[in-house]
Amino acid sequence: MLEEAESWLARRSWSATDRPLSRLLAAKRRAGPAGSVSVVLPALDEEATVGPIVEAIRTDLMERVPLVDELMVLDSGSTDRTAEVAGAAGAKVVHRDEVLPRLPALPGKGEVLWRSLFATSGEIVCFVDADLREFDSRFVSGIIGPLLTDPGVELVKAMYDRPLGTEQAGAGQGGRVTELVARPLLNLHWPRLAGVVQPLGGEYAARRSLLEQLPFPVGYGVELGTLIDTLHISGLDAIAQVDVGVRRHRHQDGQALGRMAAAIYRTAQIRLPGGAAPVWTGLTQFDRAPDGGFAPRHHQVDTVERPPVLTVPEYAAARRAA
C-alpha cells in the first residue's frame, strides 16, 4: 500500500503554477454549467482577516479573471464585525441559522460546511478558512484547477508550508494535530492516504456531486472524514493535491488542540471496520487551581454527523428544481 501511496503522490500532486489562469478560464468556459464555482469561507469572529481574503478572491478571480461565480461567507455566530467586514469587501454573507431553519444548528465548523451546500449553487465548491493571513488567491485558483481540467478528479486538497510563528525556528512546525494525530491514524489504518501532505487543511475543493454523498462530522473531524469517505466512495485517484505556497494563520493553544484531536480521533474510529464505540464521549483536561492543585475540566467530544445532503428533502427538492 505504501507503493500505491507513493505512486499517487507522483501522479496526483501539482503546483498552483502548473495551470495558468488563462488555461483555467478556457477549461471553465468549455465545461459550461459544470464549471461553475462557489467559494465558501466558514467564519466565526474573524473580522481581522476575513476582509483581505474576500477582497483578494473578488479582485483576482471574479473581476480580473472570472473563475469564481459565487463568493460566500457563512457566519456561524460571530459576535464581532465579521459579517460587516465580509460584506463590505464583496462577499455574500449568510448566517448559519438562516440555512435550513427547521433544523437547529449545532456548533462546529463541519456544521457550517454542511449547511453551505444548501446555500450555494456552484458545481465546484471550494472551502477556505477565514483566519488566513497574507492570503494569496492561488489558494483558490490552485485547488479548483484540477477540477476544471481533469474530469477524473473529485477532491483537491491544498498543500503548503505551515509556519508555527514568525520565528525561523518555527518555520516548519505548524500542523501539530496533523503530525501527532491525523498522519499516524492515516498511515496505520488508511495507508493509501499516506501521501496527503495536509489532511486536516481547511483549504480544499470538490465536486458537488461528491459532497452530496458525504456525511459531515459537525466539528473538527470534518476534513479527515471527507478524505476517508472520498477514498471509499470514489477511490484514491479521485483525490489530488496542489502546492499553494505558505499558509499563515492564528494558532490555538495546547488544550484547544487536544479537544480538536479528540474529535478527529473519534471521526477516524467510527470509520474503522468494526470500530468500537467509545466508553465515554468526553475529554478531561486540567488547569492549575488557586490552591496549587489541579482542577479538572470536562468537555464533550463532537460525535454528531450530518447525513449526506441528498437525503435531506429540502436539498433534493431544490436540486430537482434547479
181 has pLDDT over 70: yes
Q: Which residue has the higher pLDDT, 77 or 166?
A: 77
Domain boundaries, the chain: 2-251+308-321
Interior angle at CA 127, CA 72 and CA 59, nearest 5:
55
- Helix and strand counts by DSSP (H, E) for the chain: 12, 14
**Could you report the per-residue pLDDT of 38-54, keeping only the tens digit for each?**
999 999 999 999 999 99
**Mean pLDDT in residue range 102-111:** 95
Instruction: Measure the CA–CA gap between 220 and 110, rounded to whole angstroms.
Output: 7
Place of cell 467509545: 278
Instruction: Measure the CA–CA gap between 193 and 224, rounded to whole angstroms.
Output: 11
Q: What is the pLDDT of residue 169?
A: 42
Specify the length of the chain in residues.
Answer: 322
Q: Which residue has the higher pLDDT, 293 or 154?
A: 154
Phi-psi bin for 175: left (phi > 0), alpha (psi -120 to 50), beta? left
Cell numbers at 178, concatenated? 496533523
**Taking a C-beta distance cutoff of 8 angstroms, is the pair 16, 247 a contact?**
no
Q: pTM of the predicted model, to two decimals?
A: 0.93
Q: What is the pLDDT of residue 143?
A: 98
With H, G, I as helix, E, B as strand and everything else as coil, classify residue 175.
Answer: coil
Q: What is the pLDDT of residue 170?
A: 46
Q: What fold does the segment set 2-251+308-321 form as a domain? A: Spore Coat Polysaccharide Biosynthesis Protein SpsA; Chain A (3.90.550)
First to last CA, the chain: 42
φ, ψ (nearest 5 deg) of residue 100: 50, 60
**Mean pLDDT in residue range 90-101:** 97
Strands 216-217 and 239-246: unpaired
pLDDT band at 172 (very low <50, low <70, confident <90, very high): low
pLDDT band at 171 (very low <50, low <70, confident <90, very high): very low
**Could you report the per-residue pLDDT of 263-291, keeping only the tens digit for each?**
999 999 999 988 777 777 888 888 888 88
Instruction: Measure the CA–CA gap between 80 and 95, rounded to whole angstroms.
Output: 13
Interior angle at CA 44, CA 42 and CA 45, nearest 5:
135
50-64, 74-88, 133-147, 299-313: range with lowest mean pLDDT: 299-313
307 has pLDDT over 80: yes
91 has pLDDT over 90: yes
108 has pLDDT over 80: yes
